Amino acid sequence: MYNLLKGKKGIIFGALDEKSIAWKVAERAHEEGAEFVLTNAPIALRMGQLSELAEKTGAQIIPADATSVEDLTNLVEKATEILGGKLDFVLHSIGMSVNVRKGKAYTDPKYDFTTKGWDVSAVSFHKTMNVLYNKNAMNEWGSIVALTYMAAQRVFPDYNDMADNKAYLESIARSFGYFFGRDHKVRVNTISQSPTPTTAGQGVKGFDGFISYAEKMSPLGNATALECADYTITLFSDLTKKVTLQNLFHDGGFSNMGVSDQVMEHFIEE
């Protein structure tokens, strides 16, 4: 360990179980010397195992539905009180499509579901930053990160309306990141992660085929949840102070590939 986050304070959204990317970020942040508050939607707290993680990392849990500005306001007020000052880092690790859950096709969604998924997966990031910005709750040179997927740029049919939600999320990172940088010297970035076997990931139809295709296409192979956590820690550290408004691919090289030998093997007739 490198003490990269010694003395830093933050909020980590979205740890549901030990497979969650946010769970790994919390474990790594703790190892690097950070203090933080854990949060998730009240319903997820009832189902999940967050208290186990809280105990392990010495963190307190504050429930918040990330679509509720009221909940987010309470979260930021309590977190700064518990941690004894402003925040240095925030992780937004939240995604959910009701259309995907209910098996609705992209070409025939239920638009109430579309709106709900958009609010949870994308607008919640705007709401979170709105509260942090207007309450002046971030320290200078702080860092805010959200997680995204390459379906924001390229077509992955089974990713459904989450593709549109991720495009919106990445745009919010740039737009809000401008104001946060200009006014508070806070950086805002998204990490575009490989397919990863978590509850949210495995909800995508055909996930097993999808993950092994990405593995064969990527020269370094798929990035794991733990590797994503390591990368996130660098973005929270003082070593990346001038990186902002970026969508950063953390995918073993997948995003720049056309085809790989391993994939070609399936199509060459001897």
Window 200-229: residues binding ligand NAD (CB under 6 A): 200-201
44 scored as a contact of ligand NAD (CB under 6 A): yes
Measured at the CA of 237, the angle between CA 171 and CA 21, to 5 degrees, comes to: 60
The 10 Å Cβ neighbour count of residue 199 is 14
92 φ, ψ (degrees, to nearest 5):
-100, 110
198 φ, ψ (degrees, to nearest 5):
-125, 180
Task: Judge whether 190 and 222 are in contact, CB under 8 Å.
Answer: no
How many Å apart are CA 58 and CA 269, to the nearest integer?
57
* Smallest gap from residue 41 Cβ to ligand NAD (A): 4
* Smallest gap from residue 124 Cβ to ligand NAD (A): 6
129 scored as a contact of ligand NAD (CB under 6 A): no
Please say which residue, 151 or 184, places its beta carbon nearer to ligand NAD: 151
* Smallest gap from residue 154 Cβ to ligand NAD (A): 13
Pick the piece of the chain touching ligand NAD (CB under 6 A) from 142-150, 175-183, 229-237, 258-266.
142-150
How many Å apart are CA 11 and CA 261, to the nearest integer?
42
Euclidean distance between the first and the last CA atom of the chain, given in angstroms as a whole number: 50
The one among 57, 97, 193, 218 contacting ligand NAD by CB under 6 A:
193
Pick the piece of the chain touching ligand NAD (CB under 6 A) from 30-38, 145-153, 175-183, 230-238.
145-153
* Contact footprint for ligand NAD (CB under 6 A): 13-14, 16, 20-22, 40-41, 44, 65-67, 93-96, 120, 147-149, 193, 195-196, 198-201
